[in-house]
Amino acid sequence: MIAYITRRALYAVPILVGVNLITFLLFFVVNTPDDMARMQLGVRRVTPEAIEKWKAEHGYDKPMLYNGRTEGLGRVTDTIFYEKSVRLFAFDFGNADDGRSIRHEILTRMWPSLALQVPVFLVGLAAYVTFALLMAFFRATYIDFWGVVLCVAMMSISSLFYIIGGQYLLSKLWNLVPISGYAGGLDAFKFLALPVVIGVVGGIGSNSRWYRTIFLEEMGKDYVRTARAKGLAETSVMFRHVLKNGMIPILTGAVVVIPSLFMGALIAESFFGIPGLGSYTIDAIQAQDFSVVRSMVFLGSVLYIVGLLLTDISYTMVDPRVRFE
């Protein structure tokens, strides 16, 4: 088991190197530091001196890959590639354009993100499974039909409208919760209630519909027929057999997103003013702060790869037939 995990973790290294190269290409080769400086300082009427000064302030005044002016190891390490890209592997993210440490921002902002995303994930999973099971239980009836119709309709609504509509109804018309904002501790509850509800509702359409097909597929299998043949009631067939077996693909499919919960929800956080990593990323994109965007790309990739690793492990745990190859 440990050997398997180690091998899978080692397999992640070339992927991270690839991610790093892609981001380096995107951020420094397509778009040179001079362009970045010009964009930050205004495209027109900018003096070469101002560009040089900006580059020096932000550490972009070095050669790309190879520094011929220094000696020894410095030829490779005193370059943009090493300073800005290789150091990400040590989770050394450097500073944002406003001079604050990105690492520190990530460590403080991940808590609000988690406070939003973990309830969305757990409540969502429970809600989708319940709804899907309900439709599967009443399969080929009007409940099932209108359930699927509802799912397709809800899938067709942009996530932006769930947020705008929720804010308008619950916060503005009914005054139940504040429109946006955040507070630590127990106060967080009243700020997070609406985003969590919207996060869950926004995913009902596609997820419930998908889980329904999983349950229906499971119900066509032989062991279900056997269970019915030995006289089990339909409810115990559903809850004792179908639910348990259907949860295997559902849970193993959901595991991959668990690490990414840290990254927060991009849109919801910025709409509700939650100071998490999602709104941090959006702000960075809008302010064109490339060091933050680059760090978040790297962090997101690491978390996704951890998610893949967890998925593999969870497969072996729920299904003994899957061997550690």
Partner 1 sequence: MTRHLFFGIAISLALGAGWLVVRLTGVEPVALWTDRLVFLLIAVIAGYFFYARGQPHLRLPWRRVTQSAHGMSALVVLSVFIAIGLLDSLHYRPALDGRGARGEIAHSSEVLSVFDAIAKPLTAHRERTYSAPFATRAFARETLEVPGPDGRPRQVREFPRLTSGGAHLEDEAERGRDVLARTTLGLGVASLLWGVIAAVGTFSQARRARRPAREAWRAIWRAETRTPWRAVLITSGVLLALAGPALTLCASYHILGTDKVGRDVFYLALKSIRTGLVIGTLTTLVLLPFAVALGTMAGYFRGWVDDLIQYLYTTINSIPGVLLIAAAVLMMQVVIDRHTDLFPTGAQRADVRLLVLCAILGLTGWTTLARLLRGEALKLRELEFVQAAQAFGVRSERIITRHIFPNVMHIVLITLVIEFSSLVLAEAVLSYVGVGVDPSMISFGTMINAARLEMSREPVVWWTLAAAFVFMFVLVLAANLFADAVRDAFDPRVNVGALVPV
Task: Mark residues 2-31: x for contact with partner 1 by CB under 8 A, - for none.
Answer: ------------xx--xx--xx--xx--xx
Q: Does 282 bind partner 1 (CB under 8 A)?
A: yes
Q: How many residues bind partner 1 (CB under 8 A)?
A: 49
Task: Mark residues 163-202: x for contact with partner 1 by CB under 8 A, - for none.
Answer: -x--xx---x------------------------------
Type of residue numbered 194: L
Residue count of the chain = 325
* Cα–Cα distance for residue pair 159/202, rounded to 1 Å: 6
Q: Which of 93, 101, 273, 262 is nearest to 178 (CA)?
A: 273
Cβ proximity to partner 1: between 112 and 307 the closer is 307
Cβ proximity to partner 1: between 188 and 257 the closer is 257
Q: Does 251 bind partner 1 (CB under 8 A)?
A: no
Check: CB of residue 12 under 8 Å from CB of residue 85. Answer: no
Residue among 70, 159, 311, 316 that touches partner 1 (CB under 8 A): 159
Residue among 5, 9, 160, 176 that touches partner 1 (CB under 8 A): 160
The phi-psi region of residue 70 (left if phi > 0; otherwise alpha if psi is between -120 and 50; otherwise beta) is: beta
Residue among 66, 91, 145, 161 that touches partner 1 (CB under 8 A): 161
Type of residue numbered 253: G
Cβ proximity to partner 1: between 155 and 193 the closer is 155
Cβ proximity to partner 1: between 67 and 279 the closer is 279
Cβ proximity to partner 1: between 71 and 325 the closer is 325
Taking CB under 8 A as the binding criterion, the range among 1-9, 32-40, 48-56, 221-229 that sits at the site for partner 1 is 32-40
Q: Which of 174, 167, 165 is nearest to 272 (CA)?
A: 167
Cβ proximity to partner 1: between 67 and 195 the closer is 195
Place of tokens 């700020």: 191
Alpha helices in the chain (DSSP H): 2-24, 33-41, 48-57, 74-77, 80, 102-137, 142-155, 159-166, 188-219, 222-229, 234-236, 243-255, 266-272, 277-287, 290-318
Burial of 80 per CB tally in 10 Å (0-12, 13-18, 19+): buried
- Give the number of other CB atoms < 10 A from CB of residue 277: 27
Site for partner 1 in 100-129 (CB under 8 A): none
Site for partner 1 in 294-313 (CB under 8 A): 294, 296-297, 300-301, 304-305, 308
* Cα–Cα distance for residue pair 267/116, rounded to 1 Å: 12
Q: Does 281 bind partner 1 (CB under 8 A)?
A: yes
CB of 203 to partner 1, least distance (A): 11
* Cα–Cα distance for residue pair 282/273, rounded to 1 Å: 11
Q: 3-state secondary structure string, 249-285?
A: HHHHHHHCCCHHHHHCCHHHHHHHCCCCHHHHHHHHH
Residue among 70, 77, 95, 206 that touches partner 1 (CB under 8 A): 206
Q: Does 64 bind partner 1 (CB under 8 A)?
A: no
Interface with partner 1 (CB under 8 A): 14-15, 18-19, 22-23, 26-27, 30-31, 35-36, 39, 43, 152-153, 155-161, 164, 167-168, 172, 206, 210, 213, 260, 263, 266-267, 281-282, 285-286, 288, 290, 293-294, 296-297, 300-301, 304-305, 308
